[in-house]
Amino acid sequence: MLEIKNLHVKLEEENKQILKGVNLTVEAGKVHAIMGPNGSGKSTLSYVLAGRGGYEVTDGSATLGGEDLLALEPEERAALGLFLAFQYPVEIPGVGNMTFLRTAVNAQRKARGEAELSAADFLKLVREKAKSLQIDAEMLKRPVNVGFSGGEKKRNEILQMAMLEPKMCILDETDSGLDVDAMKLVADGVNALRDKGRGFLVITHYQRLLDHIRPDVVHIMADGRIVKTGGPELALVVEQNGYADILAEVA
Amino acid sequence: MALPQPKLAATEARLAGLSLPQGGWAEPARRDALARLQAMGLPARRDEYWRFTRPDALNAPDAAEAAVLEADEAPIFGTLDRLCLVFVDGVFDAEASDDPALDGVQIDRLANARDTDLHWARDIYGVLEQRGQTPVARPFAALNTAFATDGMLIRVTRTPVRPIHLVYLHRDRGSDAILHHVVRVEAGASATIIESGPAAARFNKCVEIDLADTAKLHHIRAQGRDHERSAVTHMFTRLGSESVFKSFTLTMNGRLTRNEMVVELTGDDAIAHVAGACVGDGDFLHDDTVFVTHDAVGCESRQVFKKVLRNGATGVFQGKILVKAGAQKTDGYQISQSLLLDDDSQFLAKPELEIYADDVACSHGSTSGAIDETALFYLRARGVTRAEATDLLTLAFLAEAVDEIEDETLRSEIVSRLDAWLVRRRS
Ligand SMILES: Nc1ncnc2c1ncn2[C@@H]1O[C@H](COP(=O)(O)OP(=O)(O)OP(=O)(O)O)[C@@H](O)[C@H]1O
Ligand SMILES: [Mg+2]
């Protein structure tokens, strides 16, 4: 589904190389996790895949379902089925959460040549999904993420994911800042979407989320590369020993 | 003090083409206004409040022609239940207007001043304008008082069931209109006055508003979309105690618009909110010049002005809050912001606070910026196209000003016009 080959990325403004040859393939139906020290390039990878500006791809490729992601605009990538749950969800004063969700859902439907959802159908769908994430109507009325707590913002990301039903979901530290119950809610939200046609790439620092979302594969990223790949047990090793051993081993 | 030569010449050239309407109760006020104008002269670029906006087109003896916009959308507020008073190129059109009979409201024409003696109007006409001439001179308002050819004299004694809608149509590409309205709202009454349309190729309009204690006035205006028009407008509002004045102006297009708002809070616990949203593209200059004077205890004032500028458009904001000695417990707020959609556009702001009382809360802020790239990316990452995301963020930027409109119907009409303006510009 998602195929990243030898991806090299530097900052556009400075001569700083951040990704130094990332190779990674996420198959449909699978959940991959990425762990790695702060600053190793995990968020950068997710931003580059989603199409944020400020980065320059100097080598390598990234495709989704065979399509060259890097040649597309961010909205085209989204319409193709790519979704990024942001590490830091953005506050947008003046834009209601509901308006935002409806605009996004309909924009994607339009891009795919599907009919727009009627107001009533949309409302019904949002209510149902919001309920399972314990997002109340009040939160839906407020401007996007404005005045939301850290945990509310993360749940709002999962709500968007649930509404958009993407093919490839990238979650960047969606667990950070969540209390135990909220983490369970988020994990349930993710698990509800697990499907043989859908791939997940879950970036996290903690084993705890992976207790709820059982990953098929765990990667360790360090200094802009995937340095080790293994099964769920790799996350346990990190949890217990940190990265020192793994980094020493691959050095 | 004699006027400097260029000012004198400009003033004389302008006056040469105008004649003072004769007779009736308004004539003394007109003569006084003419004398005021001759003493202060028309504005020049060096004048403190004309540094950002060139007065030339407004000073010129003749109006520059302005193409008449071909209607491509339904008339604004056209479906509202309201009393319509229509002016075509500044001339009242009784045929096109509703019968000016509305319970609780007395409506007369300034043009009939010769035949009727309206004491209440005489006590206001030119009086509030003159009060507003200090400390800042407003020559076009004096010119207006002297030479206005028509206007409506609206006295609200009891709350009417419908809003009054002044419709200004522009049909003649060379028209040059001067209108002067007087509004008095009596104690306990509440009214809504709507204005819409470009009015003329060049429009000079003055409204004097006198709010009795506990009176309320809502004012909504949409200035029309004709690109080449120019306008200079003044609203002088005097508020009695516990009275409320809420005004919102939408400006789309227009080569030159100078909107002056002069608000005087003279009674305790009065509330005045003035707001404006403008969108300009290319050959566009929009100037909001606001002066709010707090001269009573416990009053609240808000100024919320937002401008969206692209393709070399210019926005100007000159806003002042003056808190006089003794105006304790004043709550004054002022914000002026512009969203620059490209590097060619500019925003010039001059926010001022002058406070002579010690127990007051006043704040003001002015910013100018581009679309927030982070928010734009967030929206695009959810599948919203760049164009649609930009428009969404633009409307969000304007929201603080538009939300000043309390009436839901009026507000959504304004939002839909703004949205349509943006959509017409999608590339
Ligand atoms: N726009 C930028 N400008 C400057 N430096 C940047 C920029 N984006 C990323 N970097 C740098 O690139 C490196 C990788 O950052 P990135 O955010 O991808 O790390 P991360 O693995 O997600 O870290 P964390 O676990 O703390 O979230 C860091 O050194 C960071 O400072
Ligand atoms: Mg990160």
pLDDT digits (tens, 9 = 90+) for A53-88: 999 999 999 999 999 999 999 999 999 999 999 999
The answer to whether B178 and B149 have CB atoms below 8 angstroms apart is yes
CA of A172 to the centre of ligand 1 (A): 13
Select from A38, A40, A44 the residue to mutate for testing ligand 1; criterion: most ligand atoms less than 8 Å from CB: A44
- Residue-level pLDDT at A240: 86
Intra-chain end-to-end CA distance of chain A, in Å? 30
- Residue-level pLDDT at A20: 96
- Residue-level pLDDT at A37: 92
The mean pLDDT of A18-24, rounded to a whole number, is 95
- Residue-level pLDDT at A132: 83
Q: What is the pTM of this model?
A: 0.93
pLDDT tens profile B314-330: 999 999 999 999 999 99
CB pairs under 8 A between A and B: 77
- Residue-level pLDDT at B404: 97
The mean pLDDT of A225-236, rounded to a whole number, is 91
- Residue-level pLDDT at A249: 81
Q: Which of residues 257-296 of B touch A (CB under 8 A)?
A: none
CA of A203 to the centre of ligand 2 (A): 8
| Burial label, B49 (beta-carbon count in 10 A; 0-12, 13-18, 19+) | buried
The answer to whether B188 and B214 have CB atoms below 8 angstroms apart is yes
Contact B375 A90 (CB under 8 A): yes
- Residue-level pLDDT at A151: 86
- Residue-level pLDDT at B427: 67
- Residue-level pLDDT at A139: 87
CA–CA distance, A202 with A213 (Å, rounded to integer): 9
Query: Which amino acid appears at position A200 of this protein?
Result: F
Domain spans of chain B, in order of start: 5-373
Q: Give the best residue of B382, B386, B391 to mutate against chain A (max A CB count within 10 A).
A: B382
Closest partner CB to A95 (pick from B373, B386, B396): B396
What SS3 state is found at A105? helix
- Residue-level pLDDT at A185: 85
Closest partner CB to A108 (pick from B378, B383, B396): B383
Residue A181, H or E segment = helix A180-193
- Residue-level pLDDT at A50: 97
B/e letters for B73-97, b = 16+ CB within 10 Å, e = fewer, are: eeebbeebebbbbbbbbbbbeeeeb
Q: Is the C-beta atom of A224 inside 6 A of ligand 1? A: no
Note the ipTM here: 0.96
- Residue-level pLDDT at A182: 85
On the question of pLDDT at A178 being above 90, the answer is: no
Residue ranges of chain B whose pLDDT lies below 70: 1, 427
Q: Is the C-beta atom of A44 inside 6 A of ligand 1? A: yes
* A interface with B, Cβ–Cβ below 8 Å: 50-53, 73-75, 77-79, 84, 86, 89-95, 99-100, 103-104, 107-108, 111, 143, 160, 164
CA–CA distance, B181 with B201 (Å, rounded to integer): 19
- Residue-level pLDDT at B1: 63
CB-based contact, B392 to chain A, within 8 Å: yes
- Residue-level pLDDT at B150: 96
Q: Which atom of ligand 1 lies closest to the CA of A40?
A: 21
- Residue-level pLDDT at A177: 82
Q: Give the best residue of A69, A73, A90 to mutate against chain B (max B CB count within 10 A).
A: A90
Q: Chain-wide mean pLDDT for chain A?
A: 92
Residue A193, H or E segment = helix A180-193
- The residue in chain A having the minimum alpha-carbon distance to the alpha carbon of residue B373 is A53
**Chain B partners within 8 Å of A77 (Cβ):** 381
A207 — pLDDT class (breaks 50, 70, 90): confident
Among B405, B179, B124, B116, smallest CA distance to B273 is for B405
What whole-number percentage of chain A has pLDDT above 90?
A: 71
